[in-house]
Structure 1
């Protein structure tokens, strides 16, 4: 099956033409996808914002992307690869990929968000690791289904005492990614501009050895080709809310990136569609989960990791894993809220007794 056929599995003309309200039952075509994550109140410390407010940009260090964003993505990937290996970071490419993912997911958005580069570089090793943890924790609260899938990219941040070599290599990757203009690609508050390229795919393609690519039968579809395929496919296809797309060998999601860009060119909201993707490579699947957030694919996203040829359709398994992630988040959030209420009552009792 060619990649062009991946868009053929669509539940089409019998779908409702208007999106449901949040309280309505799920659409028939999206019934196997998890429900949209319920809103969760997140308390964000004001300290990073206050610190950022005093930052003066070092214009000589950070340049806007002036050329093809796909070329810039691979330029960033090559700089990250060189920095990691030059600092003797080791064979595990999940760490530099995770560093790039963290910087890309940093929640500060807007036209001046790239100035956060100075703030990142002002952090010492302990503060840097803390910022990484807070970023992933925030997104786990918002989208536990996707962050659990991205576990290979962030489980290393739980190491309380990373060795000096690891810390030095991580800092080298941070500097390389920032100075090459990563935040100019990923910090826009408009998902259209965050979706101009696939940085995670570029980093994976550059850092993975040719032998590993061959063993996993990985083939990187050029983004220009993906864009052409998406435009050709959607030229005459009626896109209706409720349709579901399935990509059984999706890599980091390059075809979906092209698809949502075409949709947005047509003023169509990707949130009204279902997106399921599978890949045998856990790092590719993890990168796709990060991209689903970065590109704002919406609430109806499933990312599976497994061998489609041997395991068949992985969508049902991924849907169950996503539901379990959401339930675990809700359970822990309820416990935290309960403990906070107890602490508040105890404080009131102490104040009354004083």
Structure 2
């Protein structure tokens, strides 16, 4: 297999391919139970009143109504990111940018897809705080069953959900972020793709992380955001110059949230190629950016051959050796937990049968 390095100045492609994720002893999802239904939480309006609930009804803002986006998707993503930043800081959310980025990521990952997916925005906005957090946790758990390697890499974006009862100020900021993203039309960019596959129109998560990170933090990380239009031009030029054949592997040693791969996958689909037939390796020194790249690999439907590393490529050399080990461990941990869940389910069934007989 050949490797196409999209950042190389050399004419021929390099012959040192990034390692392919190891293959487990059994197919990834061949014998796993089907994923949960997209919506498993009751609509609050249909639930009986619970007097002990601490969250009073929130007045409905006047700007909850939104219309389908009819402007440049990259400009729309930037506008959504600025709205998210204003909502987070306006609600005194603090300096942990992984929390608002994680909210945006979970909303984008919600499994409902297709032209009607944006209608889920009002469902999200009508949830109370308890059900809202439960829906976020369910979304991450569902994707962990399918892609434990990527969801483990995205841990910085969902670790904060381990707090069962977040403080009220944080919860208000989280809800403000969700309202800003949804009313800004985010689901039109992340869910309503024509083929129901991955929507590569824009990198909303990358825009959110870039806008929310301070200038000083970007300088400390040597972070330079490549404009999406430039990424598209680079991808078209390089893909045109290097004929693509299934099995090629791409290596981006400073991927950020994977913007160049978004453009490459989009151009591939225009050419009738399937991104699933190629390998995608990404590395970034920033854990939040690497987490965003892992989420984007799902949103853009890059396929099963994705390896995301969080490392400094200048000091570690080949970060994909460690990333491959982490890939294998994530799948083995998922398999163990699924096997344990099956065993517990069988025990409960046996108890139910014995109880019925008695």
What CA distance in whole angstroms lies between the structure 1 residues aligned with 2:292 and 2:95? 18
Going from structure 1 to structure 2, the CA distance change for 1:194 and 1:235 (only over 3 Å counts) comes to same
Among candidates 335, 340, 346, match of residue 341 of structure 1: 346
What CA distance in whole angstroms lies between the structure 1 residues aligned with 2:354 and 2:9? 62
Conserved? CA contact 1:195–1:261, under 8 Å: yes
Q: Offset of 1:9 from its aligned partner?
A: 8.6
The answer to whether structure 1 residue 270 and structure 2 residue 275 are counterparts is yes
Structure 2-normalised TM-score? 0.87
Aligned residues: 333
Question: Which runs of structure 2 are paired with 1:272-351 in the superposition (5 Å)?
Answer: 272-351=277-356
The answer to whether structure 1 residue 258 and structure 2 residue 263 are counterparts is yes
The answer to whether structure 1 residue 157 and structure 2 residue 148 are counterparts is no
Task: Give the equivalent residue in structure 1 for 2:202.
Answer: 197
The answer to whether structure 1 residue 139 and structure 2 residue 151 are counterparts is no
Question: Which runs of structure 2 are paired with 1:1-354 in the superposition (5 Å)?
Answer: 4-5=7-8, 32-35=20-23, 37-39=28-30, 40-45=32-37, 48=40, 51=43, 61-188=65-192, 190=195, 194-353=199-358
What CA distance in whole angstroms lies between the structure 2 residues aligned with 1:162 and 1:151? 18
Task: Give the equivalent residue in structure 1 for 2:59.
Answer: none
Unaligned stretches of 5+ in structure 2?
47-61
What CA distance in whole angstroms lies between the structure 1 residues aligned with 2:120 and 2:68? 14
Conserved? CA contact 2:108–2:187, under 8 Å: yes
Q: Which runs of 4+ in 1 moved over 6 A?
A: 6-9
Going from structure 1 to structure 2, the CA distance change for 1:169 and 1:37 (only over 3 Å counts) comes to same
The structure carrying a bigger helix percent of its residues is: 1
Please give the per-residue CA displacement for 1:225-268, whole angstroms capped at 9, x wherever unaligned.
Answer: 01001111111322111111111000000010011011101110
What CA distance in whole angstroms lies between the structure 2 residues aligned with 1:275 and 1:125? 37
What CA distance in whole angstroms lies between the structure 2 residues aligned with 1:193 and 1:325? 23
Going from structure 1 to structure 2, the CA distance change for 1:162 and 1:117 (only over 3 Å counts) comes to same
Q: Offset of 1:38 from its aligned partner?
A: 2.6
Going from structure 1 to structure 2, the CA distance change for 1:198 and 1:161 (only over 3 Å counts) comes to same
Conserved? CA contact 2:198–2:298, under 8 Å: no
Conserved? CA contact 1:11–1:244, under 8 Å: no
Conserved? CA contact 1:62–1:180, under 8 Å: yes
What CA distance in whole angstroms lies between the structure 2 residues aligned with 1:68 and 1:341? 53
Q: Offset of 1:29 from its aligned partner?
A: 6.4
Going from structure 1 to structure 2, the CA distance change for 1:345 and 1:307 (only over 3 Å counts) comes to same
Q: Offset of 1:8 from its aligned partner?
A: 7.5
Structure 1-normalised TM-score? 0.88
Going from structure 1 to structure 2, the CA distance change for 1:46 and 1:290 (only over 3 Å counts) comes to closer
Conserved? CA contact 1:185–1:193, under 8 Å: no
Conserved? CA contact 1:30–1:242, under 8 Å: no
Task: Give the equivalent residue in structure 1 for 2:51.
Answer: none
RMSD (Å) for aligned C-alpha atoms: 2.5
Conserved? CA contact 2:19–2:324, under 8 Å: no
What CA distance in whole angstroms lies between the structure 2 residues aligned with 1:116 and 1:339? 34
What CA distance in whole angstroms lies between the structure 2 residues aligned with 1:225 and 1:247? 16
Shifted more, 83-92 versus 338-347: the winner is 338-347
What CA distance in whole angstroms lies between the structure 1 residues aligned with 2:36 and 2:13? 40
What CA distance in whole angstroms lies between the structure 2 residues aligned with 1:343 and 1:328? 23
Please give the per-residue CA displacement for 1:274-333, whole angstroms capped at 9, x wherever unaligned.
Answer: 111000000000000000000000001000001100111111111110110000000100
What CA distance in whole angstroms lies between the structure 2 residues aligned with 1:266 and 1:162? 47
What CA distance in whole angstroms lies between the structure 2 residues aligned with 1:169 and 1:108? 25
